[in-house]
Amino acid sequence: MNHITIYSLNDLQEIFDAEIFISGSQAMMQEEIKQNCWCLSFEKNLTTHIRLNDLLQFIADLKRKRISQLQQNNIVSSVTFYMWFDEMASQLCFDLTSGKNTRPPFGCTLNILQSPESILQKFLDDCQSKIPALSWENLTILNPGDPGFGEDNDDEAEWIQDVYVTTLQ
């Protein structure tokens, strides 16, 4: 997994220049996920200037670049690109895996989207907010006797993750 902090839009070039690993093998899926997954954090000052169209253009350019890399490497099998917003880490994440409509590397209920726009907007809204959605200011502390106290809500099936999924080839 690749983590990068974006200080300017020029920093996105590192992602375009990165090699991809597509094996075409189910046995190598974890290695594909590890090498092709990117988690982007954006520096706060940049997020005040970045717009939805900037991110939409980045995703479109990234998909074109990955298709070009697949062609240069003579990979003709289907490859799935997926992208999501990790709210807890406040990161925009994406990955590539062999196969058509493969599942992202996390367990929860998926809300598959046909467009990246709503995910990118949610990411921007969170980054540009004065108080991030998962900050202490937005948490509610339950005490004994409060409604809901003692109830476990750790069931990962309850979490619904928006994921943009598209097949590149």
Note the pTM of the prediction, 2 decimals.
Answer: 0.82
- Residue 60: predicted pLDDT: 96
Asked whether 82 and 100 are in contact (CB, 8 A), the reply is no
**What are 11-27's pLDDT values in tens digits?**
999 999 999 999 988 88
Look up residue 30 and give its amino acid.
Q
Q: Find tokens 């995910």 and name the residue.
A: 119
Contacts of 138 (CB under 8 A, 6+ apart): 131, 132
**DSSP codes joined into one string, 146-158:** STTTT-----GGG
Report pLDDT digits (tens) over 92-142: 999 999 988 777 767 788 899 999 999 999 999 998 887 655 555 655 666
Q: What's the pLDDT band for 8 if we cut at 50, 70, 90? A: very high
Give the whole-angstrom CA distance, residue 98 versus residue 79.
Answer: 5
Per the structure block, which two tokens stand in for 60?
A: 């479109």
Give me the chain's average pLDDT, please.
87
Domain borders along the chain are 2-130+156-167
